[in-house]
Amino acid sequence: MLTSIYNAYREFVKLESASSILLLVATVLALWMSNSALQPFYHWLVHHPISISPLSFEIKSLEFWVNDGLMAIFFLTVGLELKREMQEGQLADLSQVALPTIAAIGGMAVPALIYVAFNWGNSITLTGWAIPSATDIAFSLGVLALLGSRVPLSLKIFLMALAIIDDLGAILIIALFYGHDLHLSYLAFAAALLVIPSILYHWKGVTSLVLYLIIGLLLWFFVLKSGIHATLAGVALAFVIPNVKDSHGHSPLHRMEHILHPWVAFGILPIFAFANAGVSFEGMQLSILLEPVPLGIVLGLFLGKQLGVFGFTWLSVKLGLAELPNRATWLTIYGVATLCGIGFTMSLFIGSLAFTVDEYMNQVRLSVLLGSLISAVVGYLILLAATSGQEAIPEEEL
């Protein structure tokens, strides 16, 4: 059983680790272009819509198509992953899901409280309270993978489950707090569309992924017009994709996740990083890090995640609500808690929803990059020290 879980984890993290390298390259490229002679071109490429005057038609900017379009596919993949894990994976066993769930709740609540403490009284900056609550699954697992098999499988699964639950929390936050001007008629059309996949499958046995994706496009349009953020259409679609296996052990959900995951890992997330990580350092002074928004984000990611994840884990174990992962120590748990401060993709995305003013977005980009970098380096060093002198765990013992 554990061997099969290990093999599944190894394939998953192989993809996530490679994706994290591309994310890093895309981030460095965006930063370089934003601070070189190519800055005007980068700004035009990312933020400038294209107007076709004779037709009185405007093509929205790359930033819109990435944040509202491609990220809907990312959230579709996250939703598929969540549904599969809840039905047949790590989140299906209540005894295994208790600890990462409690840790994820702490890891979202404490960073948010730290941010709120620094921004209390400012209604504009307070909207960014959820920015430091997120964890980037690709980067966090990528850093953990650098330590190889010295890290016990149970700890890797703990981090993966925690990051997935964290994604679910981020989805709920976006749905509840970052919508605007709701239009119930469009929501009604979207709700009606969500019934169609179940009817098609249970009545006619339809398993065509193309048909499901067409429904998804229509759903995306109606959700976009409804006032709820368009990316939530991806999550909604994921939870109505059938997960009933055929004679070969495959289901529409499995097939769609298998197809989309490489495109998301190697295409959508690097493009998102390129479009959102470009912060200009021109005229910027170190004192900007003492502003309420950067302080709340950096300290929320680096200190808040540590306190939240580790503190809630310690309390749940001491109160008998859960047990530590097999072979894990309190020092390795602390190292994982620090890695959870790598917010990057999700933090930048929530930041783009919270702020539209360039001044604040530059602060968000700078502080998310800094907080994530510090968390990655310190978390890696803690885990390196915690596992030093330990022999690699043979696969047959997993």
Domain borders along the chain are 2-179+229-397
pLDDT at 25: 87
Cβ contact 111:133 at 8 Å: yes
Structure tokens at 131: 């920015």
Six-digit token string for 346: 């999700």
Dihedral pair phi/psi, residue 59, rounded to 5° = -90, 125
Q: Which amino acid makes up residue 184?
A: L
Q: Looking at residue 249, what DSSP letter applies?
A: S
Nearest CA-CA partner of 338 in 269, 294, 386: 386
Q: 3-state DSSP: the chain helix, strand, coil percent, rounded to 5?
A: 75, 0, 25
Q: What is the pLDDT of residues 319-364, one digit of tens each?
A: 988 888 888 899 999 999 999 999 988 899 999 888 988 788 889 9
Secondary structure of residue 59 in the 3-state scheme: strand
Query: Between the CA atoms of 228, 229, 231 and 237, what dihedral angle is there, to the nearest 10 degrees?
Result: 0
> Any idea what the Cα angle at residue 337 is, between residues 102 and 11, rounded to 5°?
90
Q: What is the pLDDT of residues 84-127, one digit of tens each?
A: 878 887 677 776 788 999 999 999 999 999 999 999 989 899 99
Cα pseudo-dihedral 57, 275, 349, 61, rounded to 10 = -10
pLDDT in tens, 118-173: 999 898 999 999 999 989 887 888 888 778 777 887 888 888 889 888 888 888 88
Torsion sign, CA atoms 353, 166, 116, 296: negative
For residue 314, give every residue at least 6 positions away whose Cβ sits within 8 Å of its Cβ, in sequence order, or none. Answer: 330
In the predicted structure, residue 76 carries a pLDDT above the cut 50: yes
What's the length of the chain? 398
Place of tokens 């690699």: 392
Dihedral, 304, 270, 21, 111 alpha carbons, nearest 10:
0
How far is it between the farthest Cα atoms of the chain?
70
pTM attached to this predicted model: 0.82
β-strand 50-52 against 57-59: which pairing, if any? Answer: antiparallel
- Cβ(151)–Cβ(387) below 8 Å: yes
Pick from 256, 262, 215, 257: nearest CA to 236: 215
Q: How many CB atoms are located within 10 Å of the residue 286 CB?
A: 6
pLDDT band at 396; cut points 50, 70, 90: very low
Question: Into which CATH architecture does domain 2-179+229-397 fall?
Answer: Up-down Bundle (1.20)
In this predicted structure, the answer to whether residue 22 has a pLDDT above a threshold of 70 is yes
CA distance 165 to 82: 8
Q: Which residue has the higher pLDDT, 307 or 1?
A: 307
- At 111 the pLDDT is 96
DSSP state string for 175-219:
HHHS--S--HHHHHHHHHHHHHHHHHHHHH----HHHHHHHHHHH
Is residue 372 within 8 A of residue 139, CB to CB? The reply is: yes
Q: Which position has the token pair 């991806």?
A: 234
